[in-house]
Structure formats: structure tokens, C-alpha cells
Amino acid sequence: MRRSLALVALAVTGMVALAFLIPLAAVVKEIAETRALAEAERQATALVPALVVTGDAKRLERALASTAAGAAGRLAVHLPDTTVGHARASAADVARARAQTLRVADGYVLLRPVALDRGRTALIEVYAPDADLTRGVATSWAVLTGVAVALVAGSVLVADRLGARVVRATRRLGDAATALGSGDLSVRIQPDGPPELVAAGQAFNTMADQVAGLLAAERELAADLSHRLRTPLTALRLQLGDHGPAAAQVDRLEREVDAIIEAARRPARPVADRCDAAEVLRERLAFWSALAEDQGRPWALFGADAPAPVPVAAAELSAVIDATLGNVFRHTPERTRFTVTLHQGSGMVGILVADAGPGIADPEGALKRGHSGAGSTGLGLDIARRLAESTGGNVRVERSALGGAGVQLWLRTDPPRPRSRRLLRRSGIS
């Protein structure tokens, strides 16, 4: 932006400077020529009294020598019978005996007639060299050029300073928006710059306050709702007693609810974390295997022998796996077979959950938040989709090789390559 403003200032000021500089240069040259010819006219006029007093050639030679132009050989007098001084005009021009300005080699010649006694006419010739016609022109042009360059440079400097102010304010606003988008709800800016950017900064601060307030209210609501689950869990725990697999499952559920309450009451700040997808899969399959055994479901885990690091927190990946496997247990009949496969590719890690159930009638709709064709909340696959997209990956729902539903969770393990500027321009992004 600074460069654009500087170029605009350079172009505009340059055109304005040229619009004034070219006519001024022509006027300066014309003034210099007029000054030189006026000086030549004055030299001719100064010689008229001598011609009126005497027509003697020797006296006229002394009169010519007493003048600066005559001493320099630039003055001559054409009498009817002779010529005094150094003449440059042609005989034909002298014969016309009229006032005129003639172009000769390296200058101009002024001819001015003077009437003498007995009807005679003398002709005064003054030579003005080109050096006199252009005296001071180069200096004046240099001064005008320097003034124009200084004006252009000053305008570019002022435009750059104004652009720097706007760019700094815009960059601060962009950085603050990026930080807010990354989850830093405490970020605020001190609005400055042009009035429009000040208004934008104030609107950003207002928006950030509103977002922080809404998220705080949502966290409190999530904590309150999760806390309500503790009452039925406590009653269920008292009914089951302290021993047995069901009591262990209730204990685990209580711990999960406590973790949800604690996480909901913490300020929402993004935490960069990584985990081993293979280890998480083995842990979660060990948890679900007890229920699978009770329902007579054959299951298998493939590809989880080697470590598979992914850029997500273990708790988030566990929640996604639980939601996906929970759908298998909830929406397929007992004794339905399912498999979980961990696939590691170039820059990607895939978790494939397949079952031999009836499948999903609307795969695209199943990924929409709150949409479910089986009477559930419709949030499980949406949670999986958001986790995958946070890494640059995606979720696919299709028919599996077992004949039922197949959910593919693809997590990108390396940052995506930035798109080229040519691609951005073709897609309409600038």
C-alpha cells in the first residue's frame, strides 16, 4: 500500500511539475532572448546622437570604440558612402535601409535606420550573439528542475509517511483479528490512523468484547448442563454399587463429566498439542471392547502397531473416536461386525471405521451439524469433521467394504502448502 501511494504521488506530482516546468522553461528562454535584443536596441539608440552630430568616419570609429558593443566588434554604421565598424549584414539587407532583425551565423543582427541631413540615411547595425540570447537560461532551467524534483520528492515522502501510518494501523488491526481468530479473547487494539480505521478499530474492540462475553456465557451453560448429569450418575452409582464392570463404566463417565466441567470453566485458549493416534485407538478400543463382547460384536483393529503422531490433543481425538464408535453401537444391531484401521500416508493419517450394518442413507447430510436420520443429536460426525478440518484434513462418509457405513477421518500431519498467487487470482482472491 505504501508503494502504491508513493507511485501515485510520484505520477501526479510529476505530471503537475512537467505541466508547469515546460512552459516556464520556454518563458525563461524567451525572456533571455528579449533581454539580449533589448540590450542591442539600447546600444543602437546610444549611437544615434553621434550620427546626428557628425558623419565623419574617423570620429564615428572613436564613438564606436567608446561603447562596449563597439569595442567587442558588435557595432557597425553604414553611411551612404562607407561602412564604419565590423559589419555582418549583407549588402542587400543594408540597401533596404529599414528597421529589421536578421538571423546570421551564431546570432542576430539588428538594423536601425537614422535620418541624416539633405535626405540621407545611415544604418546602425548591432550584433547579438547566441551566447547573449541564452545567458542565464541553463542556470534558470537547472533551478526550475531542482525545485520540481524537490517538490516531487517531498510529495512522495509525505505520501509514504501517510501510507506508513495507514499500513501500521491496518497491520495492527489485522494482527489483532488473527489473534482473536486463533482464540486469544483478551486481544484489544488502540485505534489510530485515519478516522475510518479508528472506527474499524473501535468496532473490532466491541466485537471482541461481545465474543468474549458470549463464549463465557456458553462455557458457563456447558458447565451447568454437565453438572446436571452428576445427579443421575450419582443415583446410578448408588444402585450399581462399588464393584463390577458397570460400576467401572459409571466411574469413568463421572470422570469425563468432571473433565468437561473443568474444561468449560477454563478460559478458552488454543493449546497446541500432539498425540499418538495409535495409542489413543488402542486405549479407546480397549474401553469399547467390553461392550462389544456383551453384544457379541466381532471387531478388529488394524495398523495401530507403529506410532502415528497427529497434531491434535489426545482428549479431542478420544472424543471423536468415542463419538464414531458410539454411532456404530447405537445405529447397528447387536452382533454386527466392525473394524478400525489406522492408515499412515505422506503427510496424512487416516482413521477408518467400518461396520456391516445398514449404512447411512444420506452421507452428506450426516456431516451437517444437528442433522441425524436415526433420532440422535447429529453432533458426532460434525465434531469429527471440525477436528479434521482444524488440521487441514477432512471426513468422508461412504459405504464400507463390510457392506455398512464407512467413516474416514483424515488428519493432516504437516502444514498445507500455500496456494500460489496465480491460483489465488484465478479463484478471485486478491
Q: Are 126 and 75 in contact (CB under 8 A)?
A: yes
> Could you tell me which residue, 317 or 4, shows the higher pLDDT?
317
Beta bridge partners of 75: 126
What pLDDT, in 10s, does the model give residues 343-387?
Answer: 998 889 999 999 998 888 777 766 664 444 444 445 667 788 888
pLDDT at 430: 32
Specify the 3-state DSSP secondary structure of 81. coil
Q: Identify the sign of the CA torsion 368, 371, 374, 380.
A: positive
Kindly indicate the confidence band of residue 263, based on its pLDDT and cuts at 50, 70 and 90: low
pTM above 0.85, yes or no: no
Full DSSP string of 155-217: HHHHHHHHHHHHHHHHHHHHHHHHHHHTT-TT------SSHHHHHHHHHHHHHHHHHHHHHHH
Full DSSP string of 270-327: -----EEHHHHHHHHHHHHHHHHHHHT--EEEES-SS--EESS-HHHHHHHHHHHHHH
Domain limits, the chain: 2-135, 273-430
Domain 2-135, CATH: 3.30.450.160
Q: Do domains 2-135 and 273-430 have the same CATH topology?
A: no
| Whole-angstrom distance, CA of residue 144 vs CA of residue 71 | 35
Q: Are 382 and 367 in contact (CB under 8 A)?
A: yes
213 pLDDT above the threshold of 70: yes
Average pLDDT, the chain: 80
For 273-430, which CATH superfamily applies? Histidine kinase-like ATPase, C-terminal domain (3.30.565.10)
Q: Are 366 and 383 in contact (CB under 8 A)?
A: no
Strands 107-115 and 121-129: what pairing?
antiparallel
Kindly indicate the confidence band of residue 57, based on its pLDDT and cuts at 50, 70 and 90: confident
